[in-house]
Amino acid sequence: MDRFHIEGPVRLEGEVEASGAKNAALPCLAAALLTPEPVHLSNLPDVRDIRTMQKLLAHTGVFLSARPGEATLEAREIHAADAPYDLVKTMRASVLVLGPLLTRSGQVRVSLPGGCAIGVRPIDLHLAAFKRLGAEVTLEHGYVEAKAARLRGARILFETVTVTGTENAMLAATLARGETVLENAAREPEVVDLARLLRSMGGRIAGEGTATIAVEGVEALHGAGHAVVADRIEAGTYALAGAITRGDVAVRRCRPEHLEALMESLTAAGARVEKGADTVRVRATERLSGQDISTAPYPGFPTDLQAQWMALATGMEGESRITETIFENRFHHVAELQRMGARIRLDGRSAIVEGPARLMGASVMASDLRASAALALAALAAQGETVIERVYHLDRGYEKMEEKLNRLGASVRRVSE
Ligand code: EPZ
């Protein structure tokens, strides 16, 4: 039950390095289940969700040698093709073992993830994909059971773009008989990164990064080494930290091309944005003008930066309409920002932010990963001290946030109860 104590206002200045992407590392770790040979992953973020996935893989029988930033995984045999509720309830992304366990061992039992703070988040599209691949899927006592002697390739059209749904189907299709075509597939850089790993393991995949991905099934996959792609959401969060403090922040070791939507909105608001080969630099002076944003699947504006953008919008001139189209309940940060003095009203799936408001330090409560990042950003710009409770939400997806912010000139203290 750690808390953050953050003093504001500060002006951030300097360089910070992006870590590897949590949302690429998770499916890449699950991919190790597809081969008995060693898979070595590097540039892994040192965050709690990665450790949860490693625990789950060890539970299935994977030999694991890990240290911060890297891991070697060897799924010589699958001892337990299941994911128990106790693990799945702490991290929904545990469902990513469904596809690899099903295609590797022919049967799997995984706890249904249940609800989440930001939305109902069903996995019906994952299960529909496995049925298309020929699996028998049943739901019993809160668990999904799926089995198939060998999956067979199929055409799968996703009703809605789903990131982990695309990844799960891709993982399952690698060892299926014949070709699978995924349509209306997710185009996220994390999906592309997984495809890169699977190809280096001997998988036959084409079209990743587009809405149509083709997977030609193979008899077996082999071991490989892979460096996980940089975390565009973490990089975007630090770029926004620079903007909200009217500072000058360069995020290094990131992929600027993965942040186009954010950079366009920052430029339109009046910030100065510079891109290098693996760096984005954001400088903001006093006045930034309100911008409307609407979240969308990649390459649209990421829902995982919506809350952080809202924190910035509280200090912009004029009105910003922020529309959340991906998750039906992703405005938990609104009430906490209002506690800090922000002027925000809700209108259906939009939040309308009236700026500029002078934020004041307060005690606030983190509710989910990105909402807590938004509260940390708001605290950097607020007058006085802010205390953020339950920063375990942050630790799920941000590596050493307080150290990185303090290196940029912030004053963030972690207090452990
Ligand atoms: C991934 O979640 C990310 N998580 C999320 O990041 C991210 O917010 C989300 O994609 C959208 O970009 C990981 O990659 C581990 P979806 P995912 O399936 O795959 C509906 C973070 O902060 N849907 O693309 O679970 C769903 O309810 C996290 O790091 C179905 O209806 O999201 C949502 O409305 C939070 N049925 C929409 O599709 C399904 O079977 C998109 O969800 C699957 C999804």
Q: Is residue 172 very low, low, confident or very high in pLDDT (cuts 50, 70, 90)?
A: very high
CA of 318 to the centre of ligand 1 (A): 31
Parallel, antiparallel or unpaired: strands 143-147 and 136-140: antiparallel
DSSP calls for 103-147: HHHSEEEEE----BTTB----HHHHHHHHHTT-EEEEETTEEEEE
**Burial of 68 (C-beta count, 10 Å sphere; 0-12/13-18/19+):** exposed
8 A C-beta contact, residue 129 and residue 152? no
Residue 377: what pLDDT?
Answer: 98
DSSP type of residue 208: B
Q: pTM, whole model, 2 decimals? A: 0.98
Choose which residue among 92, 116, 126, 160 to substitute to test ligand 1 binding: the one with the highest number of ligand atoms within 8 A of its C-beta: 160
Residues 6+ positions from 68 with CB-CB distance below 8 Å: 44, 46
Instruction: Say whether 116 is catalytic.
Output: yes
d(CA 395, CA 397): 5
Residue 378: what pLDDT?
Answer: 98
Going from the C-alpha of 396 to that of each of 21, 93, 274, the distances in angstroms are 12, 12, 29
The torsion angles phi and psi of 169, rounded to 5 degrees, stand at -65, -40
Q: What is the pLDDT of residues 253-291, one digit of tens each?
A: 999 999 999 999 999 999 999 999 999 999 998 799 999
Choose which residue among 94, 164, 192, 231 to substitute to test ligand 1 binding: the one with the highest number of ligand atoms within 8 A of its C-beta: 164
d(CA 362, CA 387): 6
Q: Which residue has the tokens 């605290």?
A: 379
Query: Which range (59-73, 76-90, 95-109, 340-354) has the least confidence?
Result: 76-90
d(CA 272, CA 344): 26
Q: What is the mean pLDDT of the chain?
A: 97
Which residues partner with 13 through β-bridges?
248
Residue 116: what pLDDT?
Answer: 80
CA of 53 to the centre of ligand 1 (A): 17
Q: What is the pLDDT of residues 350-366, one digit of tens each?
A: 999 999 999 999 999 99
Q: What is the pLDDT of residues 217-247, one digit of tens each?
A: 999 999 999 999 999 999 999 999 999 999 9
pLDDT at 45 over 90: yes
pLDDT at 95 over 80: yes
Residue 114: what pLDDT?
Answer: 74
Using DSSP's 3-state secondary structure scheme, residue 43 falls into: coil
Q: Is residue 88 very low, low, confident or very high in pLDDT (cuts 50, 70, 90)?
A: confident
d(CA 320, CA 265): 11
Residue 282: what pLDDT?
Answer: 98
d(CA 290, CA 47): 33
Counting from 1 in the atom list of ligand 1, the atom nearest the Cα of 126 is 40
Q: Which of 58, 80, 116, 415 is catalytic?
A: 116
Counting from 1 in the atom list of ligand 1, the atom nearest the Cα of 167 is 19
Q: Is residue 158 very low, low, confident or very high in pLDDT (cuts 50, 70, 90)?
A: very high
pLDDT at 96 over 80: yes
Counting from 1 in the atom list of ligand 1, the atom nearest the Cα of 96 is 15
Q: What is the pLDDT of residues 209-219, one digit of tens each?
A: 999 999 999 99
Residue 120: what pLDDT?
Answer: 87
d(CA 91, CA 68): 20
The percentage of residues in the chain with a pLDDT greater than 90, rounded to a whole number, is 94
d(CA 141, CA 23): 28
Show the ligand 1 pocket: residues with CB < 6 angstroms. 23, 26, 93, 119, 121-126, 160, 162-165, 190, 303-304, 326-327, 369-370, 397
Going from the C-alpha of 118 to that of each of 94, 114, 190, 369, the distances in angstroms are 17, 12, 20, 10
Q: What is the pLDDT of residues 100-137, one digit of tens each?
A: 999 999 999 999 987 688 988 999 999 999 999 999 99
pLDDT at 302 over 90: yes
8 A C-beta contact, residue 100 and residue 170? no
